[in-house]
Amino acid sequence: MQALSQMLTGGRPVVAVALLASLLAGCALPLASESELETESGKQFAKMRAELVVSNDVQVRAYINCVSAAVIRELERPYSDKDWDVEVFESDDINAFAMPGGRIGVYTGIMKVADNQDQLATVIGHEVAHVTQQHALNRVNREMTTQAGVIAGSAVLGGGQATGQLLSMGAQLGLSLPYGRGQESEADVVGLKYMAAAGFNPQQSIQLWKNMTQKSKLGPAPFLSTHPSGDTRIQDLIRQLPSALKLYNDAQAAGKKPVCQP
């Protein structure tokens, strides 16, 4: 999410933090709702589409959409009912993300480490799990309540418009920050269930993170900088494999056998 962070904050998150911290403390803080965060996410997703290079490779787009659609079908409601918007960005960066409101962004560089549909499904499942578990919403509200006390209420700020601007700023800042380790671990577990239930082989998740680890030795990548990898993560996934394999076998028996080709 490093690229998204730079897009949202212009590479100057400290300025946003300082502005929030300078506001008068002592009044109740207006917390963001999921619908407000979805609106803000929509704006930022549109901005990325306008400013980044969108891939025109029909085959690559079809491949990523095929994997994404299979995973999305396994989400719980209301997330499975959303009309998810999947965009593919032409970039060597190893990066992917999902945003509240049903938005997925995949950088073509992710295929440097995701060698097949099962490994790509691991990435998509992980990112979508951040949305279904409301990690961004929790992070936004955490950031809005920890910036040097409490943001001043609407009476001091001059009404709802100013309050809305602060909510927008807090949402932008929260969306741009990396997830915590606890959230990453939860996304690993939940995402593994999604991809396995869709009929993708969960054993391939281990190889994906081995590929990530190997790639991290060759140079930094945005995805790796915000998604901790290593032996501990792989061991955690191995412990989840028995339950994930049961989901996978049940999916295969039910005829869920995705055939998504790069």
Burial (CB count <10 Å: 0-12, 13-18, 19+), residue 109: buried
6 pLDDT above the threshold of 50: no
Q: Write down the pLDDT at residue 106.
A: 96
The percent of residues in the chain predicted with pLDDT above 70, rounded, is 67
What torsion, rounded to 10 degrees, do the Cα atoms 176, 177, 183, 184 define? 90
Confidence band of 109 (pLDDT split at 50, 70, 90):
very high
pLDDT at 127: 93
Q: Is the pLDDT of residue 156 over 60?
A: no
* CA–CA separation, 196 and 201 (whole Å): 6
Q: pLDDT at position 182, please? A: 80
Q: What digits encode the pLDDT tens for the residues 40-87?
A: 888 889 999 999 999 999 999 999 999 999 999 999 999 989 999 999
Angle formed at CA 177 by CA 171 and CA 179, multiple of 5 degrees: 110
Strand partners of residue 89: 54, 107
Report pLDDT for 262: 77
Angle at 44 between CA 123 and CA 87, to 5 degrees: 45
Q: If residue 88 lies in a helix (H) or strand (E), which one and from where to where?
A: strand 85-89
- Residues 152-180 have a mean pLDDT of 51
Contacting residues for 24 by C-beta, under 8 A, at least 6 apart: 152, 156
Q: Which of 38, 74, 87, 127 is catalytic?
A: 127
* Beta carbons within 10 angstroms of residue 170's beta carbon: 27
Beta-carbon contacts of 104 under 8 Å, excluding residues fewer than 6 positions away, are: 68, 84, 85, 86, 87, 96, 97, 98, 124, 127, 128
Does residue 195 carry a pLDDT above 80? Answer: yes
Segment of 16-25, 95-104, 114-123 carrying the highest mean pLDDT: 114-123
pLDDT > 50? residue 2: no
Which residue spans within 100-237 are E strands per DSSP? 103-107
Q: What is the tens place of the pLDDT at every residue in 82-93?
A: 999 999 999 998
176 or 190: which leads in pLDDT = 190
As a whole number, mean pLDDT of residues 114-136 equals 93
Q: What is the mean pLDDT of residues 91-110?
A: 92
pLDDT beyond 90 at 144: no
Per the annotation, the verdict on 143 as an active-site residue is no
